[in-house]
Chains A and B, each alone.
Chain A
Amino acid sequence: MKIKQISLFMENKPGRLSVPTRILAQNGIDIRAMYLADTQDYGILRMIVADTQKAVAVLEAQDFVVKVTEVLAVAVSDRPGGLADVLTALDGTGINIEYMYAIPYPHGDGAILIFRFADTEEAMTRLQAKGVNLLAGEEILQKK
């Protein structure tokens, strides 16, 4: 249920983002989800890619510092309260969301929410106990 995400450290300067994406393209690695967090000086590019291991290898070969972390993915239907329902499941658990981002759900309406928790294991147990359906990696990687 846990999904591997890669993160890259990048300086905040023009043209920088195209470099890793081009490296992945040249190696035929599909980016399924991405999210860029930035400060004034640098950014952190987080991606879920089709082949994590290969992506790390090719990016590191080009001097990128890459980190692999685990995230959780939840499908949310496209209706008012869809996101609120998922977040409500975490209420009172003391579980902190480090960051989250969303991508379109490939199998119909709605979205996939990617969550990075401080404690992934704990969050997974809590969400599953509340009946929240966590997606497996393949479900994100599948295309329409």
Chain B
Amino acid sequence: MGKMNSVTGIMETGVTDCHPASVPDYVPVEQLRELQLKRLQAVVTRAWQYVKLFRSRMDERGVTPEDIRSLDDIASLPFTTKSDLRDTYPYGLFASPMKDVVRLHASSGTTGKPIVVAYTQEDIDVWTSVLVRCFAGCGLHRGDIIQNSYGYGLFTGGLGVHYGAEGLGATVVPASGGHADRQIMLMKDFGVTAICCTPSYFLHLIDRAAEMGIDMHDLPIHTGVFGAEPWTDSIRAHMEKMSGIDAFDIYGLSEIIGPGVGCECRHHQGLHIFEDHFYPEVIDPETGQVLPEGAEGELVLTTLSKQAMPMIRYRTRDITRILPRRCDCGRTLRMIDRIGRRSDDMMIIRGVNVFPSQIEAALLQVEGTLPHYQIILTRVQGLDQLEVKVEITPTMFNDKIGAMQELNAKLQGALDRVLGIRVRVSLVEAHSIERSEGKAKRVIDRRGL
């Protein structure tokens, strides 16, 4: 028996994650491997033909596209890193002429310069199809009303999820980020059945709804698809208890395509990688050696069908493992563990990538000198809080309170602008930040991830 949406009057059938787009999720493994090899050979050829960087890297190693005869041969190919995208900013890694590129997205980088990613119409179609498979795996279908609370714009989350939800045949509420009260009003008035946003933002919405006297259990919403930042099973348990929804982890990154590289299904046994499009490897981040199934290391992804911007062995810096078991759902797609940490110093705060170097740049910008500082991450009511402690220097110090408050506001403003998120700046006494062997400990993460 289904449950009726109290707003729309539509019966929730509560069945089936079968969607025509999901067929590739279940193809026999041998067939999948064959397809992967064929696509790998094609994408390597394409990258070698059209992208100078890939070609010169392969030439250096004496590898040609013809050397890829089996999937294992992928290990002979060079890695690609985020700095390659920065170094070739903006269009250096494009494999398609601009006339075939239908969309650009961008995400923040350490230097303030974004990295740019490109899509042909085919790429957009693939992206939409993998998101349809994500949503179908989460049990969503035509008739669902999906509120998309990812920010619309250069960030891949907004438009990616939008077209994916439309592709599914669901009704999209393009709420974008922010304005919690309005988000809750939309959920309630529109009879929203599913939401997509960062997990911390949803926790915030739960709290805000409670303050507004709304219990999410009373709303038609039954599903949440959360990504763009690390979260844990305890957060999941908390949000499910507080809201009555089924919470799914979705994975993705702009460099590969955006959200939709992988997603949990209703069995929540790991994140299925849509490996007919994104080939996963796990490597030892120190040596670059490929690790066996089950071993934890850095996730490396190769786009098997990307046209505009193929990525060969892209180092995600995300630490995970390829699970050595098959999911009960029957999908033949391999699964990875949920991502809890990264191999570099990048912090993911409310879904936004933040590097200590960005904070340094902002501090430098205000004072012209770099004071000692420390980044403190906490999570208050499910929302990440970023505090930057800044040690006062003689040039910064003024005996007038007003001048000090102005300094505080200037630092805060500079950080807000560079990072795009709210930052709390605390001025602290000189030499009060703990130093180990002369180096200050830059990041204190108390979020318990």
Could you tell me the distance between the alpha carbons of A42 and B400 in the complex, rounded to whole angstroms? 12
Within 8 A of B (CB), among A8-27: 9-11
Q: Which residues of A contact B405 (CB under 8 A)?
A: 39
- Choose among A7, A10, A41, A99 the residue with the greatest number of B CB atoms under 10 Å from its CB: A41
Chain B, Cβ-Cβ closest to A71 = B399
Which one, A41, A42, A46, contacts B399 given CB within 8 A? A46
Which one, B400, B426, B432, contacts A99 given CB within 8 A? B400
Q: Are A116 and B399 in contact (CB under 8 A)?
A: yes
Q: Are A63 and B431 in contact (CB under 8 A)?
A: yes
Could you tell me the distance between the alpha carbons of A46 and B397 in the complex, rounded to whole angstroms? 13
Q: Which residues of A contact B397 (CB under 8 A)?
A: 7, 9, 65, 67
A-B contacts, CB under 8 A, total: 49
Does A64 interact with chain B (Cβ within 8 Å)? yes
Within 8 A of A (CB), among B401-416: 401-402, 404-405
Total interface residues on B, using CB and 8 Å? 18
What is the distance, in angstroms, from A73's C-beta to the closest C-beta of chain B?
A: 16
Does A37 interact with chain B (Cβ within 8 Å)? yes
Chain B, Cβ-Cβ closest to A5 = B399
Chain A, Cβ-Cβ closest to B424 = A41
Q: Are A9 and B400 in contact (CB under 8 A)?
A: no
Could you tell me the distance between the alpha carbons of A21 and B431 in the complex, rounded to whole angstroms? 19
Q: Which residues of A contact B431 (CB under 8 A)?
A: 63
Given A11-B432, A42-B404, A69-B427 contact (CB < 8 Å): no
Could you tell me the distance between the alpha carbons of A11 and B400 in the complex, rounded to whole angstroms? 15
Could you tell me the distance between the alpha carbons of A85 and B313 in the complex, rounded to whole angstroms? 79
- Choose among A64, A65, A69 the residue with the greatest number of B CB atoms under 10 Å from its CB: A65
Does A44 interact with chain B (Cβ within 8 Å)? yes
Given A42-B404, A44-B404, A65-B399 contact (CB < 8 Å): no
Q: Which residues of A contact B426 (CB under 8 A)?
A: 41
Does A98 interact with chain B (Cβ within 8 Å)? yes
Given A39-B405, A65-B393, A11-B398 contact (CB < 8 Å): no
Q: Which residues of B contact A42 (CB under 8 A)?
A: 404, 427-428
Which one, A7, A9, A39, A69, contacts B429 given CB within 8 A? A9
Could you tell me the distance between the alpha carbons of A131 and B394 in the complex, rounded to whole angstroms? 37
Q: Are B429 and A65 in contact (CB under 8 A)?
A: yes
Could you tell me the distance between the alpha carbons of A5 and B400 in the complex, rounded to whole angstroms? 12
Q: Which residues of A contact B380 (CB under 8 A)?
A: none
Q: Are B401 and A65 in contact (CB under 8 A)?
A: no
Could you tell me the distance between the alpha carbons of A99 and B397 in the complex, rounded to whole angstroms? 16
Could you tell me the distance between the alpha carbons of A114 and B432 in the complex, rounded to whole angstroms? 31
Q: Which residues of A contact B429 (CB under 8 A)?
A: 9-11, 63-65
Given A39-B405, A65-B394, A44-B427 contact (CB < 8 Å): no
- Choose among B405, B427, B428, B429 the residue with the greatest number of A CB atoms under 10 Å from its CB: B429
What is the distance, in angstroms, from A24's C-beta to the closest C-beta of chain B?
A: 17
Within 8 A of A (CB), among B371-405: 392-394, 397-402, 404-405
Does B430 interact with chain A (Cβ within 8 Å)? yes
Q: Are B428 and A11 in contact (CB under 8 A)?
A: yes
Chain B, Cβ-Cβ closest to A62 = B431
Could you tell me the distance between the alpha carbons of A63 and B432 in the complex, rounded to whole angstroms? 9
Q: Are A7 and B427 in contact (CB under 8 A)?
A: no
- Choose among B400, B402, B431 the residue with the greatest number of A CB atoms under 10 Å from its CB: B400
Within 8 A of A (CB), among B316-351: none
What is the distance, in angstroms, from A97's C-beta to the closest C-beta of chain B?
A: 11
Given A65-B393, A65-B394, A67-B394, A9-B427 contact (CB < 8 Å): yes
Chain A, Cβ-Cβ closest to B395 = A65
Q: Which residues of A contact B432 (CB under 8 A)?
A: 11
Q: Which residues of B contact A46 (CB under 8 A)?
A: 399
What is the distance, in angstroms, from B56's C-beta to the closest C-beta of chain A?
A: 52
Q: Which residues of B contact A69 (CB under 8 A)?
A: 399
Q: Which residues of A contact B401 (CB under 8 A)?
A: 37, 39, 44, 99
Could you tell me the distance between the alpha carbons of A13 and B426 in the complex, rounded to whole angstroms? 13
Chain B, Cβ-Cβ closest to A43 = B401
Which one, A5, A39, A41, A64, contacts B430 given CB within 8 A? A64
Chain A, Cβ-Cβ closest to B398 = A67
Chain A, Cβ-Cβ closest to B427 = A42
Q: Which residues of B contact A39 (CB under 8 A)?
A: 401, 404-405
Given contacts A7-B399, A99-B400, list 4 more A-B pairs with CB under 8 A.
A9-B427, A11-B428, A46-B399, A63-B430
Interface residues of chain A, those whose CB is within 8 Å of chain B, are 5, 7, 9-11, 37, 39, 41-42, 44, 46, 63-67, 69, 98-99, 116
User: Top 7 nearest A-B pairs by Cβ distance?
Assistant: A7-B399, A63-B431, A9-B392, A65-B397, A37-B401, A65-B430, A65-B392
Interface residues of chain B, those whose CB is within 8 Å of chain A, are 392-394, 397-402, 404-405, 426-432
24 A-B pairs within 8 Å (CB atoms) are namely A5-B399, A7-B399, A9-B392, A10-B429, A11-B428, A11-B429, A11-B432, A39-B404, A41-B426, A41-B427, A42-B404, A44-B404, A63-B430, A63-B431, A65-B393, A65-B397, A65-B430, A66-B394, A67-B394, A67-B399, A98-B400, A98-B402, A99-B400, A116-B399
